[in-house]
Amino acid sequence: MLDIMLSKLLKDIQEKKNFTPFLEVSDEHSGYTIHAEESMEKDLYIGNFQKEGLGDMEKHVTVEEVVRLLKKGSKSGMSEDGGGLWVMLEADRFEYGLRFFFPEKEGRWIVRGFSRLRPERD
């Protein structure tokens, strides 16, 4: 079920060439944390997909970066109860991650968070 959702998310992002598909597979707690590439000062952007929208994400992350994460990222960090999973990738001096959550009451996987962070070790 997760693989089907990941394939659909990848296809939708590639076809639309934007991040609006995240809105379809997120909830009120889903969001992003992004280090901008430009400078080291005031470069951390944190937002909620449903509340703040995708503006900062669209401004600082490319569709190609997310497509590469979905295609080449490794699945790891499955929670003990099977209700959560990370897809992670290190590339271009950043650590990328997509965190997924499976709430029983909704009966579907949702994107809990997207991150593009500078590694603590460079």
DSSP symbols for 20-84? THHHHT--TT-EEEEE-SS-SSS-EEEEETTTT-SHHHHHHS-HHHHHHHHHHPEEE---TTS-E
- Mean pLDDT estimate for the chain: 88
Read off the pLDDT band of 42 (50, 70, 90): low
The pLDDT, as a whole number, for residue 92 is: 87
Q: pTM for this structure?
A: 0.86
What is the average pLDDT across 82-107?
90
Q: How far is CA 94 from CA 9, 21, 79, 122, in A?
A: 22, 23, 24, 10
Read off the pLDDT band of 110 (50, 70, 90): very high
The pLDDT, as a whole number, for residue 90 is: 94
**Domains and their CATH numbers in the chain:** 2-117 (3.10.450)
Encoding tokens for residue 55? Answer: 């503006």
